[in-house]
């Protein structure tokens, strides 16, 4: 089975996860907070600015502060999200094709009755 192509707007999150050694949960938290993955370098410079919190703890702190809970109810990796979106798209496409086939069958039956 061919590997699914991951859209660019989600691939950047995968690259960020690897670069800053974040978990799937932390990436999902950052996405829900609307954070920009391109700006993580500024947030993760704890070595140069020791007063800053480490990036994973910072994301968790912001999430707790904003949503008043410790973590998302359902944690899903970017790859799982891409797969789920693909399955939804295929199901929707299949349903649409089935509806078209049903309409065509009804039209052919109507045309056959008119000819008689």
**Tens digit of each residue's pLDDT, the chain (116 residues):** 456 789 999 999 999 999 999 999 999 999 999 999 999 999 998 888 999 999 999 999 999 999 999 999 999 999 999 999 999 999 999 999 999 999 999 988 888 877 76
| Torsion sign (Cα): 38, 60, 56, 7 | negative
- What residues contact 37, with CB distance under 8 A and at least 6 apart? 12, 13, 15, 16, 30
Tell me the C-alpha distance between 32 and 56, whole Å: 14
Backbone region of residue 5 per phi and psi (left: phi > 0; alpha: psi in -120 to 50; beta: other values) = beta
What is the residue extent of each domain of the chain?
8-115
**Owner of token pair 């039956």:** 109
Please tell me the pTM assigned to this model.
Answer: 0.79
């Amino acid at each position: 089975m061919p590997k699914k192509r991951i859209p660019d707007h989600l691939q950047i999150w995968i690259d960020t996860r690897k670069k800053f050694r974040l978990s799937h949960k932390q990436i999902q938290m950052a996405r829900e907070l609307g954070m920009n993955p391109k700006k993580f370098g500024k947030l993760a410079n704890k070595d140069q600015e020791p007063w800053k919190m480490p990036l994973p703890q910072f994301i968790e702190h912001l999430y707790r502060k904003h949503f008043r809970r410790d973590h998302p109810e359902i944690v899903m990796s970017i790859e799982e999200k891409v797969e789920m979106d693909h399955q939804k798209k295929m199901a929707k496409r299949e349903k649409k094709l089935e509806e078209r086939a049903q309409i065509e069958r009804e039209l052919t039956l109507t045309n056959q009755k008119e000819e008689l």
